[in-house]
A and B are shown apart, each in its own frame.
Chain A
Amino acid sequence: MAELAPPGPVGAGATSGRTVPKRRYAAIEVRDLEKTFRIPRQQVNTFKERALHPFRRARYEELNVLRGITFDVLEGEFFGIVGRNGSGKSTLLKCLAGIYRSDAGSIRVAGRISPFIELGVGFNPDLTARENVVINAVMMGLTPREARARFDQVLEFAELQDFVDLKLKNYSSGMQVRLAFAVMVQSGAEILLIDEVLAVGDAAFQQRCFDEFLRLRDEGRTIVLVTHDMTIVDRFCHRAMLITGGEIETIGAPGQVGARYLERNFEAMSQRSETTQESSVAGASAEIAEIWVENDAGMRVETVPHGQPLHLHARIDVHGRVQEPIVDIWVDDENGARVFATSTRPWPEAPPAEAGQSLHVRVDLDNRLAGGRYHIGCSLLSGSATLAVVALVNRHKPFVVYGSSHVFGLVAIDHELHVDRESSA
């Protein structure tokens, strides 16, 4: 297809076991790209207003959406773009596709581009599938004759042969996406720009898309994919890029970028709901002064990766004597279900906690929690005659676990999975 240079390190994304494109030139070359939207503060959108305020200078708010974007996508590379909502991914893709004009910087592209921007390629709802497909293919640079010749393939790929002459407005949204995806794939363009394709497809279609991704990748097409699904990034991408607030945060191996993305995501999430303290027993002789989560390096964190050691800490200040103290510490999930709890209950002949003492509780564990949000809680009980709660902090200190894409259920317990086959013949 093109000259084959000796396989070399292609960026940091050369993950093992994945065929890395051997061609060395960039299919897309972006340099210092910048995009600013001007949002009029006092909207003048009629002539009437214009006539009433002829000298009002339109004042604009400048929204700097992309800054200093510089990257390359090699020919034949499957390149993922991830980032939080509103970080500028779609805007970047639209600049690449030539739909928005950038304000500074340059974009160079080698090959024909086929865009798939935000669930569709721009269909006219009043036209039938046939007409829409032909018009779109011509927009992508085919002649009308070529477009008509490919029409059957497109329909076959989308599995919509029975709906050829149905108007697009009578299609379900999933069917429209299938058609759009089929047009994009079948247009034969060398470079595909895909923005969130899988959101509305059904399971069978998603599987088809995955198969198609693999096929296109093996075919050597260049693909730029925007997605929020890290498993897709992990599975398909040679390299990925994380955009945060309109700037490139990292470019590199998909796993690394995906983990960083999740970290960013959940950081913001746990900041949003800082410390929802529920209860502390009033006038008690002890108080849970502090409760926190540490990673293995001894740093206090709010986001923890799955599969790494995790340390739960609590500090209890004792103000009055507590007989037979018992410490409980636990982890609740978002719905309040107790995922894990431990206790000092069989703590024989525990000396009473004296006023002025401070108890430091620490639990070391391997983080087997599935991705999601959790809270830790802690309590101090007095077990002398009857069990009495001395101090309690419930649903305290939320934290977030990320990066456990293969855990179904609440926890991942160490296990081995075997499937044995016996033939009865």
Chain B
Amino acid sequence: MSVETGAALPRAREIHGPAAYGGGWRRFWHLTWLIAVTDYRLTYFGSVLGYLWALMRPLLLFGVLYVVFSKFLRFGDTIQYYRDLLLINIVLYTFFSEATGNAVRSVVNRESLVRKMHFPRMVIPLSVVVTSMLNLAANLVAVLVFILIDGVKPRWTWLLIPVVLLLLVAFTAGIAMILSALYVSYRDVQPIWAVFTQLIFYGTPILYVIDTVPSQLQKVLMANPLAALLEQTRKWLIDSGAPGFVQAAGGFPWWLIPVVILVFVCTFGLWLFNHEAPRIAERL
């Protein structure tokens, strides 16, 4: 049986099924922010120590590493402001590993939401990244206080740090999207990524600086966008005499490698997630 319908349906819109984004950017942003903030509160204010604990985690790691590498192994004697460098590196790395590590299972963890509501799917991994950003922001305040007390002189290049942070967030978000999309079909992504983050920890100049590495190895290490970002932070924030990522990578055209990788990770992450999004609900 058919029902005659009016000439034009008022306000009618086509339903295309789920997508990575869509439904208006305001809603997208509202949702991401709302979920991120509730998650942040849930993790850090659910416990007694709350915000303190959020600060303590990287600081504890810093304390241990500092004592071991600086006092016992005499690692940083030749490096200017070694402890400040170590602190900022650990804070940035913690952001990266926490955000990507939590993102892996994020979509699967939100199964009930994904299977019952229509909303842009990309909100989920992005909100995980935003949660870690809130954490990062809190930690950076502590870092700033620490390095000022330690005697690092403020310079105009500090104003460029947000650029580095922005790129770091983009890189992290790209990886978060790849991991969360893959985890829906491949459940061993989680242990594999856990091993990877360990490798990245040692393969990135966090405990050491790039100029102490043999120059052939430097080029290899600097292909990692994370290494490039940390080296640039070092130059702009702590030590103006540091090589910075262009020089550390070996000049043109070598410095293009981390840039290309970063751009690739971000676009591939977007593409992959976008490609998988319509079917995520039924594969869970």
* Cα of A389 to Cα of B11 in the assembled complex, Å: 76
The interface residues of chain A lying within 8 Å CB-to-CB of B10 are 2, 25, 110
Given the known interface contacts A108-B9, A120-B116, the answer about A47 and B17 at a Cβ–Cβ threshold of 8 Å is no
B13 to chain A minimum Cβ distance, whole angstroms, is: 6
The residue of chain A having its C-beta at the shortest distance from the C-beta of B118 within the complex is A98
* Cα of A139 to Cα of B16 in the assembled complex, Å: 17
The interface residues of chain B lying within 8 Å CB-to-CB of A10 are 3
Contact assessment for B187 and A97 in the assembled complex, using a CB-CB cutoff below 8 Å = no
B9 to chain A minimum Cβ distance, whole angstroms, is: 5
The interface residues of chain A lying within 8 Å CB-to-CB of B155 are none
A70 to chain B minimum Cβ distance, whole angstroms, is: 8
Per a CB cutoff under 8 Å, which of B5, B14, B15 touches A72? B5
* B6: interface (CB < 8 Å): yes
The residue of chain B having its C-beta at the shortest distance from the C-beta of A74 within the complex is B3
The residue of chain A having its C-beta at the shortest distance from the C-beta of B5 within the complex is A26
Contact assessment for A46 and B13 in the assembled complex, using a CB-CB cutoff below 8 Å = no
* A411: interface (CB < 8 Å): no
* A164: interface (CB < 8 Å): no
Contact assessment for B114 and A122 in the assembled complex, using a CB-CB cutoff below 8 Å = yes
Contact assessment for A138 and B118 in the assembled complex, using a CB-CB cutoff below 8 Å = no
Interface string of B267-280 (1 = CB under 8 A from A): 00000000000110
B260 to chain A minimum Cβ distance, whole angstroms, is: 25
* Cα of A287 to Cα of B26 in the assembled complex, Å: 80
* Cα of A124 to Cα of B281 in the assembled complex, Å: 16
Binds B, one of A99-107, A268-276, A293-301, A330-338: A99-107
* B115: interface (CB < 8 Å): yes
The interface residues of chain A lying within 8 Å CB-to-CB of B1 are 11-12, 251-252
Contact assessment for A45 and B186 in the assembled complex, using a CB-CB cutoff below 8 Å = yes
* Cα of A251 to Cα of B2 in the assembled complex, Å: 10
The interface residues of chain B lying within 8 Å CB-to-CB of A117 are 115-116
Given the known interface contacts A12-B1, A127-B38, the answer about A48 and B188 at a Cβ–Cβ threshold of 8 Å is yes
Given the known interface contacts A12-B1, A24-B4, A98-B16, the answer about A46 and B186 at a Cβ–Cβ threshold of 8 Å is yes
Contact assessment for A124 and B4 in the assembled complex, using a CB-CB cutoff below 8 Å = no
Per a CB cutoff under 8 Å, which of B12, B42, B278 touches A108? B12
* A60: interface (CB < 8 Å): no
Interface size on A, residues (CB 8 A): 54
Which residues 167-194 in B have Cβ within 8 Å of A in the complex?
185-189, 192
* Cα of A143 to Cα of B33 in the assembled complex, Å: 12
* B110: interface (CB < 8 Å): yes
Contact assessment for B186 and A29 in the assembled complex, using a CB-CB cutoff below 8 Å = no
* A314: interface (CB < 8 Å): no
* B71: interface (CB < 8 Å): no
A92 to chain B minimum Cβ distance, whole angstroms, is: 12
* Cα of A141 to Cα of B118 in the assembled complex, Å: 10
* Cα of A109 to Cα of B3 in the assembled complex, Å: 15
The residue of chain B having its C-beta at the shortest distance from the C-beta of A58 within the complex is B185
Contact assessment for B188 and A113 in the assembled complex, using a CB-CB cutoff below 8 Å = no
* B113: interface (CB < 8 Å): yes
* Cα of A46 to Cα of B34 in the assembled complex, Å: 33
* Cα of A29 to Cα of B279 in the assembled complex, Å: 23
* A382: interface (CB < 8 Å): no
Of residues B26, B35, B42, B118, which shows the largest number of chain A Cβ atoms within 10 Å of its Cβ? B118
The interface residues of chain A lying within 8 Å CB-to-CB of B6 are 24-25
B103 to chain A minimum Cβ distance, whole angstroms, is: 16
* A247: interface (CB < 8 Å): no
Interface string of B18-32 (1 = CB under 8 A from A): 100001001100110
Contact assessment for B5 and A141 in the assembled complex, using a CB-CB cutoff below 8 Å = no
The interface residues of chain B lying within 8 Å CB-to-CB of A12 are 1
A123 to chain B minimum Cβ distance, whole angstroms, is: 7
* B119: interface (CB < 8 Å): yes
Given the known interface contacts A135-B38, A136-B117, the answer about A101 and B278 at a Cβ–Cβ threshold of 8 Å is yes
A sample of 13 cross-chain residue pairs with beta-carbon separation below 8 angstroms, ordered by A number, consists of A11-B3, A25-B5, A45-B185, A46-B187, A94-B115, A99-B281, A101-B16, A110-B10, A121-B116, A122-B114, A123-B112, A139-B118, A144-B34
Other A-B pairs beyond A12-B1, A95-B15, 4, CB < 8 Å: A72-B3, A100-B17, A100-B282, A120-B116
Q: Return the 5 tightest CB-CB contacts between A and B, nearest first.
A: A101-B17, A122-B116, A98-B118, A122-B113, A25-B6
